[in-house]
Amino acid sequence: MACRRMTEPAPQRLFIKTYGCQMNVHDSERMADLLAPLGYCLTEDAAEADLAVLNTCHIREKAAEKVYSELGRLRRLKEDRAAAGGRMLIAVAGCVAQAEGEEIQRRQSAVDLVLGPQAYHRLPELIARAHRAGGRIVSAAFEAEAKFDALPRARGVSGVTAFVTVQEGCDRFCTFCVVPYTRGAEFSRPADLIETEVRGLVDQGVREITLLGQNVNAWSGAGEEGLAGLIRRLARIPGLARIRYTTSHPADMTDDLIAAHGEVEALMPYLHLPVQAGSNAILRAMNRAHTAETYLATLERLRAVRPDIALSGDFIVGFPGETEADFEATLSLVREVGYASAYSFKYSRRPGTPAAALPRQVPEEVKSERLQRLQALLSAQQNAFNLAQVGRVLPVLVEKVGRRGGQMIGRSPYLQAVHFQAEPDQAGQILAVEILEAHANSLAGRRAPPA
Ligand code: SAH
Ligand code: SF4
Ligand code: F3S
């Protein structure tokens, strides 16, 4: 997003670096929206920043550690600025901020401000305090409702797709996961507010929305009966062509939501439904509230109403106590499902989570070896899925200009990037594209002749 307002005196420069999930990407955009009226313009160059924000992720150890190396770099830039008579504030936001609080300032004293994901609406006030107090301000309170009420409603969007936060937090407490601690209890926004936001986006040219939540299919906001009710309501908005939602928990796939996949045309036939593992003993130890069998039964019901639905998933290998046989159960579940895409991770021990204290932690080299085997299978499935599109004509939502002349990039219903020749003014249209080539992460095709 470009700087929207030039103020006197010279605009403040805002640098934001985002780690982690889509929710963080979205939150970073909202922070920029919130600071724009105060004269903050985004910059990609941290060296010229008056305020540098790291929007952090705590999900795995590596994600959290990256933050500290980036803070080291920012510290040097801050010192250079001070030597030149300037001033830079460094803020740590997001899930590491929530999890570690003041500890962050102890490890890196150049940090002026630490604020958790529920405190973003207080950013202007906190910046002012940091300027007065020379830093050392911590805010990590859970105030989901206040945050949603206080963040600016009017959003500037560029492009034809947008994310809309409908739910935040998680009550599921999978034993490996920090999210219930960093994002707090589940909170759902009311349907009326969501509808108003989506109508505003559609007025600005958005054709596809993705409803976001850490456990989005547990949405229980006022005004509609469950996520299926919300989707049905949004699908009636004229001009909105496509609806997606992420991320879902298998145990929260209600009958009504499954039925919606067969009835709501705008609901895309692609679902991210993480299973994590294929062994019931491991799923139980993870506190997942589903078994391999109930997961497969859910998919069968989804496929019964929407035969072309494509699946994506998340997997963890090397959870404490995972035996070779447990791991093979994961491989066998993957073979049975056939994923269109997937994310897979080595189990990472997170301080404070129940699984971190379990005996029989799996050695690093065993985790690496299992991850390799799983990823080989998953990428073969992804390639096969992409290849299966060759020769088909897919409805492609045209998003943006591609790198080569005359080329546009769009999305298939299955979220694949599709490259093809079209005019820039066709962005926002849904065109029939014949798929000619499949690559690891994209497809290429040409406009299909009218039927
Ligand atoms: N429902 C959330 C999930 C966030 S975590 C969402 O909105 O995206 C994303 C994925 O990270 C999880 O599905 C899980 O596969 C993985 N993950 C979570 N904790 C982990 C840990 N301690 N070690 C390795 N992977 C983990
Ligand atoms: Fe984490 Fe489990 Fe909640 Fe997903 S459902 S955010 S993995 S606790
Ligand atoms: Fe990471 Fe927090 Fe998202 S831990 S995955 S940024 S909810």
Q: So where are the chain's domains?
A: 12-143, 153-246, 269-388, 393-447
Q: What is the pTM of this model?
A: 0.93
Class level of CATH domain 12-143: alpha beta
The per-residue pLDDT for range 169-185, each reduced to its tens digit, is 999 999 999 999 999 99
Ligand 3 site, residue 121, Cβ cutoff 6 A: no
Ligand 2 site, residue 180, Cβ cutoff 6 A: yes
Q: Closest residue (by CA) to atom 24 of ligand 1?
A: 347
Q: What is the mean pLDDT of residues 145-168?
A: 75
- CA 372 to ligand 2 center in whole angstroms: 24
3-state SS track over the chain = CCCCCCCCCCCEEEEEEECCCHHHHHHHHHHHHHHHHHCEEECCCHHHCCEEEEEECCCCHHHHHHHHHHHHHHHHHHHHHHHCCCCCEEEEEEHHHHHHCCHHHHHCCCCCEEECCCCHHHHHHHHHHHHHHCCCEEECCCCHHHHHHHCCCCCCCCCCEEEEECEECCCCCCCCCCHHHHCCCCEECCHHHHHHHHHHHHHCCCCEEEEECCCHHHCCCCCCCHHHHHHHHHHCCCCCCEEEEECCCHHHCCHHHHHHHHHCCCECCEEECCCECCCHHHHHHCCCCCCHHHHHHHHHHHHHHCCCCEEEEEEEECCCCCCHHHHHHHHHHHHHHCCCEEEEEECCCCCCCHHHHCCCCCCHHHHHHHHHHHHHHHHHHHHHHHHCCCCCEEEEEEEEECCCCCEEEEECCCCCEEEEECCHHHCCCEEEEEEEEECCCEEEEEECCCC
The per-residue pLDDT for range 255-309, each reduced to its tens digit, is 999 999 999 999 999 999 999 999 999 999 999 999 999 999 999 999 999 999 9
Domains 153-246 and 269-388 agree in fold? yes
Measured from the alpha carbon of residue 59, the closest ligand is 3
Q: Closest residue (by CA) to atom 4 of ligand 1?
A: 214
Q: Which atom of ligand 3 is nearest to the CA of 56?
A: 6
Q: With bands split at pLDDT 50, 70 and 90, how would you rate the model's confidence at 2? A: very low
Q: Closest residue (by CA) to atom 1 of ligand 2?
A: 177
Fold of the CATH domain 269-388: Transcription Regulator spoIIAA (3.30.750)
CATH 3.30.750.210 is held by the domain 153-246: yes
Ligand 2 test: best mutation among 59, 167, 172, most atoms within 8 Å of CB? 172
Q: Which atom of ligand 1 is nearest to the CA of 176?
A: 22
Class level of CATH domain 393-447: mainly beta
Which is more confidently placed, 64 or 387? 387
The per-residue pLDDT for range 341-381, each reduced to its tens digit, is 999 999 999 999 999 999 999 999 999 999 999 999 999 99
Measured from the alpha carbon of residue 353, the closest ligand is 1
Q: What is the mean pLDDT of the chain?
A: 92
- CA 28 to ligand 2 center in whole angstroms: 21
Q: Closest residue (by CA) to atom 7 of ligand 1?
A: 214
Res 232 pLDDT > 50: yes
